[in-house]
Amino acid sequence: MPELPEAEYMVRRLAECAPTTKIQSLTILRPSLVAPQSPDELTATVAGRKVLGYARRAKNVLLHLDHGWSLRVQLGMTGHFFWIPDSRQLPRFTRLWFALPHHAAFVFEDSRTFGNLHLHRTEDLPTVFASYGPEPLDPAFTWQHLQASAARAHGPVKPFLLDQSKLVGLGNIWAAESLFAARLAPHRPLPSLTAPEWKALHKAIRQTLSAAIANTFRVTASAEEFPEADLLACRVYGRVGQPCRRCRQPIARFVQAGRSTFHCPNCQL
Ligand SMILES: [Zn+2]
């Protein structure tokens, strides 16, 4: 399942492969992925438009077009949006694709079809994302913002980190890794966190996500390959019973809010 690092990878790859390009046409093979929009209207609105740039918001890949509209690809569970050099060889799970000059294409591949594509006025995007929490890698996002988003919350820290209305981008893997890096136990009640601990958590989240993005580039060989999280780099996630890389005590696992949670009971307090 793509999380922030994989979505970021896709956006950076698009910018690398097709910094600017022109959409010649859009072919929608699975109309349910663009519902409730009309496939014909959507196709007509984007044909002939130039792509000016790419961006990411949480797990959405955004393509800004030259007529004040933006395409938003929501990746869902198995979605992958990428550039290919030859549209005559479309990947197996292609659900829609954009023809570009010289036979190139943007492809949306999605085996389980939980993803979707929407067209918005670019100026409306802040409204579209109104319920989203801040971006953890935004330079303007401080540890005080992180602490403030937990004000009046009383639950444990890990489910809070997964709540996308408080903070976007952390899934089960990177939340566990961030807490290990910050030396905080996943079950710590939010009101018990001190200012230095919030500061450490903020730093840990940013470092963990930045490293995860870099590792995604390292383990994903080509632009056409689905970007995978580098689980070998994980220090607690998926490592139950294995020795902690810091203290050699075994990594523990418990179920929290329905999700497997991994931690070192010795290092994380
Ligand atoms: Zn440890």
Q: Are 177 and 10 in contact (CB under 8 A)?
A: no
Distance 235 CA to ligand 1 centre (A): 9
> What are the pLDDT digits (tens) for 75-107?
999 999 999 999 999 999 999 999 999 999 999
- What local confidence, expressed as pLDDT, does residue 222 receive? 79
Which domains are assigned to the chain? 4-128 (3.20.190.10), 143-263 (1.10.8.50)
Low-confidence ranges of the chain (pLDDT < 70): none
pLDDT in tens, 15-60: 999 999 999 999 999 999 999 999 999 999 999 999 999 999 999 9
| Mode of pairing for the β-strands spanning 60-65 and 25-28 | unpaired
Tell me the residues surrounding ligand 1 (ion) with CB < 5 Å.
Answer: 244, 246-247, 264, 266-267
Q: Could you give the CA distance from residue 85 to residue 104 in angstroms, rounded to a whole number?
A: 4
pTM of the model: 0.92
Active-site residue flag, 59? yes
Query: What radius of gyration, in Å, describes the C-alpha atoms of the chain?
Result: 20
pLDDT of residue 58: 95
Centre a 10 Å sphere on the Cβ of residue 74 and count the other Cβ atoms it contains.
Answer: 18
pLDDT at 232: 84
Q: Which of 2, 5, 136, 159 is catalytic?
A: 2
Distance 245 CA to ligand 1 centre (A): 7
